[in-house]
Structures are given as structure tokens and as C-alpha cells.
């Protein structure tokens, strides 16, 4: 009888241990769903659509720096979704934390295809930073004043003497500019180059 009782007690103890083991067993952890990879933004536009988006993104960045627009305001004014704008302009944007507003940093290294005037006429160049983009914009304004015969135009152009954009020296010689204009080489509306333009 005693041996039977001992076996019964052992069985009960064994079943209790198994139950405890089962309770302690960890539930398999659920794997978080994989995030969709964010499409890479090319360093240089590789299509007409990319070039168009890049131009609008850079204009939106200029609005943020110049006018103090928020990222959403600047993107909307340039016909961009905020998500698209942030993805393309990310190297030039900062914020203090998740959910906080984006702000544009003073300088960036975003490349763009732009039209630069050379001795042989306009060419398409890769401009790799905001400093050169800004310099080209200021030169373009001085060039338009020169073509319009504005006062002090030649003096304004002299301020760009020896400066380069995209590896090309900016043309400041008045005689050469007149020759280029007579040859129809100054008839371009914007310094942002259209995709596929000659270089």
C-alpha cells in the first residue's frame, strides 16, 4: 500500500512540474511587419520627371530660407506633397524631434542640373551645392539687368569676375556678352536646365 501511495504522489508531483513548465513557456513573439523600403533619391536627376521634382524641391527650400515658410506651405506652393518634398530635400532639413516642424539648414549639398553661360554659349552643368545655386541666381539677375540696359549693370557683373559655378567661370566681359547676345546665346528663360539639354 505504501509503495502504491508513493507512486501516486510521484505522479502528482510530476504532473504539477509539467504544468508549471507549461505555464512558464514563453509565447512566441510577433514579428513587426517589415517596412517598405524608401525609394532612393538619385544624386543627379535621371529623368525629366526627376529634374522637374528637383527644381520644385529647390524652389521650396528657397521659400523656407527666404520667406520663412513652413515645409508644408513651401511644398504646397510648389505643387508637392509634403512627403515627397521631405524625401527629396532630407539632406537640407532638420527638426528637434519626431512630430516637430522641419526647418531648412542654411546650406546644403543637393545637386541640380543648371544652365551656365560660357564663352561658347549656355551649357548644362551639375551644380552640387546651395552656395553655387545662389551665386548663379544672383549672376542671372545681374545678366538680365545688363541685357535690359540697366544702370550699373556692368559694375554689377564685375562682382562675379573669376567666380565659378559647376566648374565654369562666369562671363563678365561686356563685349563678349554682347557677342553672345547677338548670336542668340542668351535666350534662355531659366537657369534650371531641362532634362536632356546639351552640355
| 121-127 and 168-169 beta bridge pairing | unpaired
The pLDDT profile of the chain, 199 residues, written as one tens digit per residue, is 545 545 454 555 555 555 555 555 555 566 655 555 545 566 777 788 988 999 999 999 999 999 999 999 999 999 999 999 999 999 999 999 999 999 999 999 999 989 999 999 999 999 999 999 999 999 999 999 999 998 899 999 999 999 999 999 999 999 999 999 999 998 877 777 765 554 4
Closest to 53 in 3D by CA, of 4, 112, 101:
112
Q: Could you tell me the domains of the chain? A: 48-104 (1.10.10), 112-182 (no CATH)
For the chain, the average pLDDT equals: 83
Contact 92, 65 (CB under 8 A): no
The dihedral over CA atoms of 110, 113, 114, 115, expressed in degrees to the nearest 10, equals 160
Torsion angle of the four alpha carbons 156, 157, 158, 163, in this order, in degrees rounded to the nearest 10:
120
Tell me what pLDDT residue 144 has. 92
Give the pLDDT score at 45. 75
Whole-angstrom Cα distance, residue 153 to residue 141?
10
Is there a contact between 49 and 57 (Cβ–Cβ < 8 Å)? no
pLDDT attached to residue 190: 72
Kindly provide the b/e burial profile for residues 166-186, where b requires at least 16 CB atoms within 10 angstroms of the residue's own CB: beeebbbeeeebeebeeeebb
Specify the pTM.
Answer: 0.72
64 close to 104: Cβ distance less than 8 angstroms: yes
Contact by Cβ (8 Å): 116, 122: yes
Amino acid at each position: 500500500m505504501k509503495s502504491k501511495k508513493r507512486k501516486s504522489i510521484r505522479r502528482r508531483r510530476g504532473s504539477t512540474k509539467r504544468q508549471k513548465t507549461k505555464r512558464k513557456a514563453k509565447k512566441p513573439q510577433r514579428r513587426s511587419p517589415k517596412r517598405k523600403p524608401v525609394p532612393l533619391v538619385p544624386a543627379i536627376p535621371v529623368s525629366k520627371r526627376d529634374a522637374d521634382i528637383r527644381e520644385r524641391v529647390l524652389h521650396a527650400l528657397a521659400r523656407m530660407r527666404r520667406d520663412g515658410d513652413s515645409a508644408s506651405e513651401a511644398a504646397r506652393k510648389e505643387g508637392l506633397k509634403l512627403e515627397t518634398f521631405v524625401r527629396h530635400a532630407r539632406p537640407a532639413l532638420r527638426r528637434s524631434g519626431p512630430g516637430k516642424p522641419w526647418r531648412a539648414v542654411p546650406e546644403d549639398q543637393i545637386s541640380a542640373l543648371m544652365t551656365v553661360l560660357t564663352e561658347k554659349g549656355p551649357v548644362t552643368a551639375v551644380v552640387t551645392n546651395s552656395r553655387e545655386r545662389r551665386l548663379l541666381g544672383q549672376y542671372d539677375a545681374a545678366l538680365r539687368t545688363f541685357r535690359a540696359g540697366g544702370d550699373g549693370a556692368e559694375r554689377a557683373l564685375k562682382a562675379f569676375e573669376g567666380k565659378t559655378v559647376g566648374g565654369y567661370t562666369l562671363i563678365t566681359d561686356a563685349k563678349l556678352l554682347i557677342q553672345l547676345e547677338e548670336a542668340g546665346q542668351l535666350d534662355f528663360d531659366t537657369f534650371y536646365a531641362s532634362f536632356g539639354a546639351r552640355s
